[in-house]
């Protein structure tokens, strides 16, 4: 049920806002109102402007996405705010990044970073 509600909340908020931070802020307010306390959700929302060659993203407690410019080593995106469902007054932040040639964004879940290799060590983020 929570996933269905989230999908509807995001769809409705995106009709009124182009800003990922505004969308996630509205989704969080509605999620806190309709979902049982103690049920938290993470979310990353990225809007890509192909004409302006930039992306804008906001993050609600999800694993931080990786960002890579050309052949430079990947780095983590910096914005990471509170998970959804904790505090309905949370105002989320967003960051804008320019999309140069050969730019890459990789979004992962904690299922990837917390997985274990054959030696039983977590893969982590490095």
Question: Does residue 122 fall inside a structural domain?
Answer: no
Residue 67 lies in a domain: yes
The verdict on residue 39 lying in a domain is yes
For residue 21, what are its two tokens?
């931070």
Q: Give the range of the structural domain holding residue 71, as residue numbers without chain letter.
A: 2-113
What is the count of structural domains for the chain?
Answer: 1
The reply to whether 31 falls in a domain is yes
Give the model's pLDDT for residue 116. Answer: 76
- What is the distance between the alpha carbons of residues 64 and 82, in angstroms, rounded to a whole number? 12
> Which pLDDT score is estimated for 112?
66
Give the pLDDT score at 21.
98
Interatomic CA distance for residues 124 and 110, integer angstroms: 9
Asked if residue 77 belongs to a domain, the reply is: yes
Q: Is residue 16 part of a domain?
A: yes
The low-confidence residues of the chain, meaning pLDDT below 50, are none
Tell me what pLDDT residue 1 has: 73
CATH code assigned at 65 = 3.60.40.10
The structure tokens listed for 88 are 């309905």
């Amino acid at each position: 049920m929570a996933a269905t509600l989230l999908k509807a909340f995001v769809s409705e908020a995106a009709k009124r806002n182009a800003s990922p931070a505004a969308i996630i802020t509205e989704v969080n307010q509605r999620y806190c109102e309709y979902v049982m306390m103690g049920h938290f959700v993470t979310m990353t929302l990225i809007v890509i402007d192909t004409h302006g060659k930039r992306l804008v993203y906001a993050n609600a407690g999800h694993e931080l996405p990786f960002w890579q410019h050309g052949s430079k080593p990947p780095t983590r995106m910096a914005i990471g705010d509170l998970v959804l469902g904790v505090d309905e007054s949370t105002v989320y932040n967003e960051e804008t990044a320019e999309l140069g040639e050969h730019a890459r964004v990789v979004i992962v879940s904690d299922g990837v970073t917390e997985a274990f290799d054959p030696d039983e060590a977590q893969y982590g983020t490095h």
